[in-house]
Structures are given as structure tokens and as C-alpha cells.
Amino acid sequence: MTAERRHAPPTQDELDLLHYQSRIERPVAAKIPEFSRDERLRHVIFSRQFSVELLEDLAGTADKIRALSKARAGQDFLIGLLSHKRAMLYFTQPSTRTFLSFMAACQILGITCNEVRDPSTSSETKGETRFDSIRMFSSYFDLIIMRSPVAKLAEACAYLMNDLAASGNRSVPIVNAGSGADQHPTQALLDIYTLQRTFQFTSPKDSPIGTRFDEIRRQYANLTRGLSRKVYGFCGDIGRGRTVRSLAELLAGYEGVSLVFVSPQHPALSLGDDMRSRLVNRGVRVFEVESLETPIDGRPVIETVDALYMTRIQKEHNDPADEATFAAIDFSKYKLNRDLVNRMKSYAPILHPFPRDQFFGEIPQEIDADPRAMYFRQARNGMWARAALLAHIFNVDHQISRYYHEHYE
């Protein structure tokens, strides 16, 4: 932090969070139990709330929802499950995928949606605090799904709801749909779901090699099904990517994973110290390199990774002080091209949370037809994974399971 920044008066965002500061500053592990109720997620704030066991469970529910959605009878069953519930989509930061996939997920389960996307149309323009707005939403809706440019706002809203519940007032679940540069837990959920389906090697559409697992193993003898014992590459804007942070936290829960972070060596763009020590402390092999050509374990990163997660350079977060140093960086190293993709393992999916930046070109369109390009499938998976999460929160996942087993097995 610069001297000027240190002495600057607090922003309205900082003032808004002041009341919850002491709770926010605790370690994540200490907070997680407060976001559950009756052994279920109540509020979804951090990706670390998803244990490996819960991720398996949610993937199973998502698979069943997508299977049931193929037929009219299944759709009718799903739509009746939560038709008595209403959700508020409070998105005050731009979004295409998260907003629409949550809306579609709600519709699959019969939840009625409403939205506030532009705070200039709400009474925040008359001086109402965000917390008063949230409490008002909780008066009319049964769930608040929120995206905000303010880091920690969703977490603070979850504390507000817990305090309301403790004093006998109405309180509803909060789902963090992206909070500043901080966390994007449901993106990590759909990223994991995409990897789970890819590494099952059972669905022709979900894996670059389809169902040819046994054949591919002749070339890659160590290849196993599942997410464990794999090398995951992250490329681009590592320091400011909330999706990278959230997904890396989840991958760290799987056995024997290696995470390779490919970014410019710049304090704003490379892996943060806090993240690095958390991953290392959890037993993850962490590599930080400047290029996809850098060797790890004797081969270039691009030829080593079992999955590659590309990211956009998030120019909107550029600090004027960083602009001059960015000019010296060779950003071409953080763009894919056909030659690079041709050198990847044949079964390795390319993921990207999207949006991709057409002007920067981290994934040019010519890659889209490659079987390894999994990013559009990944975005669609978001709808199924988010529907599964809503079913979990509202405790109808067992009904889905029962119906599926009775009618489809």
C-alpha cells in the first residue's frame, strides 16, 4: 500500500464493512461453521466450504438434474420442487454467465426470480445502506444471490442474516456470486464439476478423448480417473483472479495434485504470498513460472499439464502505478495458439471462466473447435452445478435422488 493510500480517508465501502471487521478478519476455517445449518450449507461465501465429499455429492445431484431435464416428466418434477420459493438476484457488477445460469438454475427448480442489477434504480440513491437493502430483500425473498465489486460484502451480509436469525428475525441464505477480487465460490464449483465429468472419461462430450480411456492409457500409463494426482496449470492474471483463487483452494483438497501458476513476475499479477503458503501448507506441489515453455519435471509446462485454466488479464483492476511496469511485460506468453494446443496432452481440457478478451486474445477463436476446448461446456455446467447447489441449500436433493432412482434406474 502506498503512503498516500495509507493516509487516505476510508472509502464508503470500507465504512460499510467496519461493523463486521472483527469477524471478517478471522481465519476462514473459524468462520465456515457459521455458514452452515443442520449439516448443510446455509450461506455460500467461500469455496473452502465445499469439502471433497460435498463436491462429489453436488456433482451427483447435478448429473441427476441434467438427466431428468431431458424429458418432460423429469422437468415437471423438478419445477414443482421449489415453486414456493423466491430468489433475489442482486448483481451490481456486470455478469453474463453467473447471472443467467443462476436464473436458469432457479427456473429449473421452479424458484421465481427477481433482480436488481443497477443500484441507481434502487433506493440506495436516496442514501439507503447496502445492508438495509439486503434486509429488505430478505423480507420479500427466500434467497439472495449477490455479486458485488466490494470484496467481503457477501460475507458481511451473511453475518447480518445470522444476527437477524439470532434475534428471532427473518433471515435468508446468502450466495456469493462473485465478491470484488476476493472469491467466486460457485465458479469454482462449476469448474470442479467440469473437471469431474472430464476425468470420468465416460461421456463423449465431456472429455476431449471421449470414452477412449483404456486406449489413451497405452500412451499415458499413469493416467487415472478422477481429480487426484494430476497437474493443473493456471495461466494469465493469477494475482487478481478470484476464480483462480477459489478453484486452487478446492483442488488443494485432492490427493497428490500439483498446481502450476504461469504469470508475469509482477506483484499484481503473480500468486499472492498468502495463497502460496496456504497451498504449500496443505501439501500441494506449487510451481510459479513465467512461461508455458518453462520446464517442470523435465518437460515444458504446456506438455505436462493434465488441465489448463486460462484467464483474462483484468485490465479494469490496473493501478496507475502499475501501468508503467506492465509496459515492460511480454504478454504474448499468456496467449494460447494452435501450435501450443497441439503440444498439449490429448486428454487435457482447456478451461476458462470467461469472458475471454477478444482484444487481448488469451484463447483465439481458432481453438474453439479443438476437442480440448471445454469452456463452453464449462459455462453450461454452471447451470447444472448451481441448480444442484440450490437443491442442497433448500434440502430437496434427496427428493431428486429418490425420484431419479425410482424412474430412471
Question: CA 258 to CA 254: how far, in whole Å?
Answer: 10
Q: Binder to ligand CP among 49, 61, 92, 98 (CB under 6 A)?
A: 98
Contact characters 26-45, ligand CP, x per CB under 6 A:
--------------------
Contact 108, 82 (CB under 8 A): no
DSSP symbols for 203-214: -TTTSTTTT-HH
Min dist CB 109 to ligand CP, Å, is 20
Min dist CB 356 to ligand CP, Å, is 10
Q: Binder to ligand CP among 265, 355, 366, 407 (CB under 6 A)?
A: 355
User: Cβ closer to ligand CP: 61 or 98?
Assistant: 98
User: Cβ closer to ligand CP: 178 or 233?
Assistant: 178
The letter for the amino acid at 188 is A
Footprint on residues 169-198 left by ligand CP (CB under 6 A): 178, 187
DSSP symbols for 102-125: HHHHHHHTT-EEEEE--GGGSGGG
Contact 41, 35 (CB under 8 A): yes
User: Cβ closer to ligand CP: 75 or 93?
Assistant: 93
Question: Can residue 97 be called a binding residue for ligand CP (CB under 6 A)?
Answer: yes
Q: Binder to ligand CP among 20, 46, 254, 354 (CB under 6 A)?
A: 354
Question: Residue 274: in which H helix or E strand, if any?
Answer: helix 273-281
Nearest to 48 by CA among 273, 287, 245: 245
Min dist CB 351 to ligand CP, Å, is 11
Place of cell 502506498: 2
Q: Are strands 295-296 and 285-289 parallel, antiparallel or unpaired?
A: unpaired
Q: Binder to ligand CP among 12, 36, 96, 318 (CB under 6 A)?
A: 96
Question: CA 277 to CA 75: how far, in whole Å?
Answer: 45
Min dist CB 228 to ligand CP, Å, is 25
User: Cβ closer to ligand CP: 258 or 378?
Assistant: 378
Min dist CB 301 to ligand CP, Å, is 24
Min dist CB 91 to ligand CP, Å, is 8
Give, in order, the Cα–Cα distances in Å from 307 to each of 31, 191, 199, 253: 31, 11, 10, 16
Contact characters 139-168, ligand CP, x per CB under 6 A:
------------------------------
Place of cell 487516505: 8
User: Cβ closer to ligand CP: 98 or 381?
Assistant: 98
Min dist CB 174 to ligand CP, Å, is 17
Q: Binder to ligand CP among 353, 393, 400, 403 (CB under 6 A)?
A: 353
Interface segment toward ligand CP; rule CB under 6 A; list 95-103, 127-135, 260-268, 334-342: 95-103
Footprint on residues 293-332 left by ligand CP (CB under 6 A): none
Interface segment toward ligand CP; rule CB under 6 A; list 90-98, 130-138, 290-298, 370-378: 90-98
Interface segment toward ligand CP; rule CB under 6 A; list 93-101, 195-203, 251-259, 388-396: 93-101
52-68 and 375-393 helices, crossing angle to 10°: 100
Q: Binder to ligand CP among 75, 95, 325, 399 (CB under 6 A)?
A: 95
User: Cβ closer to ligand CP: 98 or 171?
Assistant: 98
Interface segment toward ligand CP; rule CB under 6 A; list 12-20, 195-203, 349-357, 365-373: 349-357
Strand extents, DSSP E, 30-166 = 36-37, 40-41, 86-91, 112-116, 143-148
User: Could you tell me which residues come within 8 angstroms of residue 106 by beta carbon, excluding any fewer than 6 positions away?
Assistant: 87, 112, 113, 390
Contact 381, 338 (CB under 8 A): no
User: Could you tell me which residues come within 8 angstroms of residue 318 by beta carbon, excluding any fewer than 6 positions away?
Assistant: 326
Q: To the nearest 10°, the Cα dihedral for 198, 199, 201, 204? A: 10
Other residues' Cβ atoms within 10 Å of the Cβ of residue 287: 17
User: Cβ closer to ligand CP: 98 or 270?
Assistant: 98
Min dist CB 92 to ligand CP, Å, is 13
Give, in order, the Cα–Cα distances in Å from 407 to each of 76, 111, 391: 13, 23, 19
Strand extents, DSSP E, 18-109 = 36-37, 40-41, 86-91
Compute how many residues bind ligand CP; rule: CB under 6 A: 10
Which triple of cell numbers denotes residue 181? Answer: 477480487
Interface segment toward ligand CP; rule CB under 6 A; list 92-100, 166-174, 277-285, 342-350: 92-100
Residues that bind ligand CP (CB under 6 A): 95-99, 178, 187, 353-355
